[in-house]
Each structure stands twice: as C-alpha cells, then as structure tokens.
Amino acid sequence: MNSRISAVVRAARLVGCTFALGGAVIACGVDASERASSMADGASSDDAKQKGRAAGVDGVSEEAAGVCGPSGPPDGAVLWNSDLKSASHFESSSIASDAAGNVFHARRDTGVDKLSPDGVLLWHLAFGNVVTAHAQGDAYVGSGSAAAEAKVTKLDASGATLWSLAVGNGTPQSIAVAADRSVLISGQGLGTIRLDAQGQVQWTKPFGGYVAFSASGDALVTGSFEGTIDLGAGPVVSRGREDAFIVRLSSEGTHRWSHILGDADLPIARPGSSGGTVTSPSDQQGKGIAEAPNGDVVVTGFAHNSIKLFGNDLATPYSNYVGELPLAYVARLDPTGNVLWKTHGFTFRDVRGLAVDPSGNAIVSGGTIGNTRPYVLSWFKKYDPSGGTVWEFSERFGSGYADAVTTDGCGNILLALVTTPRPTEYPHAHVAKLRP
C-alpha cells in the first residue's frame, strides 16, 4: 500500500472513521489531490483498486461491502463537506444515495450532481429540479416549471439518459423510486404521478407535494392546498388559506387514509401595518414524508399563525424583532394513520427536509432564527423512534438552510445545504456527510 494512503489509514483509525471489509477506510475527507496521486503512481490494477478503496474513490463503501464496521457515537459529527459553488442563485432541493454510498444532489432549476462516497464530484448535468436514486445506482430526475413541460428522466450510473417521459406542466417538488423501480413524481400544479419501471404512467392525482414509497409499494404524499381537495375520501374545503394534507394511497392509487391539518379554533390577532391588530387566516404546509423500517409514517411541515395539529389547537408566537415565528411540527403515525406522537417548536424559519434512518430515527432539516446577522442558520435535528431528541444543531454550517436530508444504509446522514459565506457572494450549495 502507498505510504501516503497508509498514513491516512493510520490517522483514520485514530479519529474513529468507519471501515469496510479488510479495514479499508471510508469517507474520512482525504484530499482530492491525494486520491489522484494514489491512483497514478504506476501500481498494478489490483493494488490501485485497493488504494482507491482506502481513499474511498471507486464507489466502494460500507454499504457496498455489506459491513458498516465500528463507528463513533451518534453525535452528528461531520465526516466531510463538499462545496459546490454556483455562478447563479439557487437552492438545493433533494438528495439521495445508492447502495454503494454514491450521493445524488439536485440544485433547484440548475441541475443534478453525482458525488462519490467521500464527497468528490463525479458529474453534473445542467437540468433537473429533483433527483432520487435506486439502490443499484440508476438515478431519476424530475424537471420542469409552471411554464414548461415537466419530465421524468432515468439515468444510468454514468449520467447517460435511458429514457425520458413528459408528464404534464408544473414544477416537481419531490420524486421517489421503489424497489421495483416504480417512480412517483409530485408537485403543486403538477399533481402526483406514478410511473412503472418502463416509464409508463400508471395513475395520476390532482394533488401534489412531497412523496415517498412504503415498502409494500403504497404512495405516501404530503403537501398543501387552498380551496377544495378530494384525497379519495370525499371533498374537503381548506380553512383560511392553505391547509396541509397527508394521504396514503395503494399501489393502484386508491385512498387508504388521510389527514387534514388546518387552522386552529383560536382567535389570532397580529399587529396591523397602520397600528392596531388584524386577524388573518393561517397557512399550513406539509414539507416531508417518509416510512420507517417498521412501517410507521413520519411527517413534517410548518404553519403560520395557527394549526390544528391532530386535534391540538396551537398558535404561533409573534416577535416585534423578527415578526411571526412559524411553528414547525414532526409527527409519527402507525401504518394505518393513527398518531403515535407529535411535537412542535417555534424557533424555526422553515422546515425543508425529512429522512428516516435504518434504525427508525427521524432527521429533520431546515432553517432557524439566529440572534445576530444573518438571522437564518441551517438547522437539523434527530429524533429517536419515540420522539425524543438525540441531537440538534443550528450553527454548524453558518448562514442559510439545510434544504434536504437523507441517510445511507449505515445510518450516516447526508445533508444538502445552501450557505452564503459573504453578502457579496452568490449562495453556495454544499453536500455534507455526518455520522449518525
């Protein structure tokens, strides 16, 4: 083994990195130039492959090896952080991983990235709003806008297009792929559309937002609506402005159960622009949904002014310093839609991402309010299966948002972040890998 890589391995053992078969080090933040030199020193192909595994560069990871190996405490420590600078303003929108530990990241309206298990950019495609990935490495990209045709595109591991299908007009907010390669794509204005593995439409629904598959192939959807909606159990009219919804549909698209989270039965008065107080309607938005390994369903979202959160009336506070403080909620339901627990907080600016790890812990990401400039800090929190807090961070990556979150097969956390290093700079997209 190259002496440089040997030194990396020895250092990795000291800091408690994870290991694959044979003790190979995975994702310990090895410098890219170091990886390149280890692969270009004239070694044999087998020797080079082993060096690549030690440096984490050829798609080999703890997931591919089938062994996660020893790891540190569940403390959310950063394993690596890749800065994907952009020449224009953008936000991240989704993140996914395959069984080899490769990472797929979508920059809203500006394209899709694939990164190696240790955070090295492998390729970038200049299209796509959202992305997901099958365990075997094929990726699925949703693209489109309110004024342009929405499409689902399937890519192979190299980023080459395998098929592409137009699915109507609208902006995709979320995309998911099942084990059998069925696809869900969803968004307000676009609705929710299910495709089979060949890219043929199986069914469509007029409501949309954020989607996930259950292990049985059911569709899980959360989002918001204004006016009247029929999730399959009859028409419902929103209370105030937007209401949040949660619905479970069978693989054939039939309604199994649903919930509406609307305005609370509370009088809400806010300071008026010309003095006095005004009463205004509330907004509630579903922002994420995922299935736990035991079949439970975890949801998240936020509300302005008030929310009836599964029977509890809650009002959001108002601050003369920063204005209204949105209420963020997280809830866990059993497979039939009964509420197991729910929690909420008032310091969040926005909730943007949700994931459930292989142990059933829920990770929620977004932005929270800081006490000084820039006032909005990336925020992420981990809940255990009973709703208890494992850890919470709000200053680790500075200004901006943690736009999306997922986990890999070993429970490591992958965050898609957008930060603004300086007021004169465009926002930067970051992808970070954290210990569980």
| Residue 86 and residue 24 share a domain | no
Range(s) of the domain holding residue 117: 78-434
Find out whether 389 and 70 touch, Cβ atoms under 8 Å.
no
Q: Domain for residue 73, yes or no? A: no
Asked whether 223 and 207 are in contact (CB, 8 A), the reply is: yes
Residue 58 has pLDDT above 60, yes or no: no
pLDDT at 377: 77
Please check whether residues 243 and 128 belong to one and the same domain: yes
pLDDT band at 66 (very low <50, low <70, confident <90, very high): very low
Residues 50 and 98 in one domain: no
Closest CA to 21 of 48, 44, 54: 54
Q: Over range 152-173, report the average pLDDT.
A: 95
Q: DSSP labels for 358-396?
A: TTS-EEEEEEEE-SSTT-EEEEEEEE-TTS-EEEEESSS
Give residue 274's pLDDT: 65
Q: Does 63 have pLDDT greater than 50?
A: no
Q: In the prediction, which pLDDT does 324 show? A: 63
Instruction: Please give the mean pLDDT across all residues of the chain.
Output: 80
Residues 335 and 241 reside in one and the same domain? yes
Q: Are residues 322 and 408 in the same domain?
A: yes
Residue-wise pLDDT for 92-105, tens only, equals 889 999 999 999 99
Q: Is the peptide bond before 374 cis (omega within 30 degrees of 0)?
A: yes
Q: Could you tell me what percent of the chain has a pLDDT over 90?
A: 53
In a domain, 72, yes or no: no
pLDDT at 417: 84
More confident residue, 197 or 72: 197
What's the burial of 70, exposed, middle or buried (CB within 10 Å: 0-12/13-18/19+)?
exposed
Tokens of 324: 């209204």
Cβ-based neighbours of 273, under 8 Å, separated by 6 or more: none
Q: Which of 65, 94, 112 is where one domain is finished?
A: 65
* 296 or 41, which is more confident: 296
Q: Are 246 and 290 in contact (CB under 8 A)?
A: no
Domain annotation covers residue 58: yes
Q: Strand, helix or coil at 343?
A: strand
N-to-C CA span, the chain: 30
Q: What are phi and psi of 51, to 5 degrees?
A: -65, -40
Residue 250 burial by Cβ neighbours in a 10 Å radius (0-12, 13-18, 19+): middle
- Please indicate, yes or no, whether residues 148 and 50 belong to a single structural domain of this protein: no
Give the end of a domain, one of 65, 94, 113: 65
Higher pLDDT, 5 or 351: 351
pLDDT tens-digit series, residues 264-316: 887 776 676 666 666 666 889 999 999 999 999 999 999 988 899 999 988 87
CATH code assigned at 217: 2.120.10.30
3-state secondary structure 247-259: EEECCCCCEEEEE
In a domain, 151, yes or no: yes
Q: Are residues 232 and 307 in the same domain?
A: yes
Check residues 388 and 71 and name the one with the higher pLDDT.
Answer: 388
Query: 10 and 155: one domain?
Result: no
Gap between the Cα atoms of 391 and 399, Å rounded: 19
Based on the fold, state whether residues 149 and 260 are members of the same structural domain. yes
CB-CB contact of 63 with 410 (8 Å): yes
**Co-location of 42 and 87 in the same domain:** no
pLDDT at 276: 63
Domain membership of residue 298 (yes or no) is yes
Do residue 59 and residue 107 come from a single domain?
Answer: no
pLDDT, mean of residues 239-265: 94
Helix axes 3-15, 45-55, angle to 10 degrees: 30
Residue 425 has what pLDDT? 63
Q: What is the pLDDT of residue 402?
A: 82
Confidence of residue 142 (pLDDT cuts 50, 70, 90): very high
**Which of 19, 43, 65 lies at the terminal end of a domain, its last residue?**
65
The answer to whether the beta carbons of residues 131 and 142 sit under 8 Å apart is yes
Q: Is the pLDDT of residue 147 over 50?
A: yes
| CB atoms inside a 10 Å sphere around CB 371 | 8
Domains: count for the chain:
2
Residue 274 in any domain: the answer is: yes
pLDDT for res 92: 82
Same domain? For 36 and 117 the reply is no
pLDDT at 178 over 80: yes
In a domain, residue 71? The reply is: no
| Inside any domain, residue 383 | yes
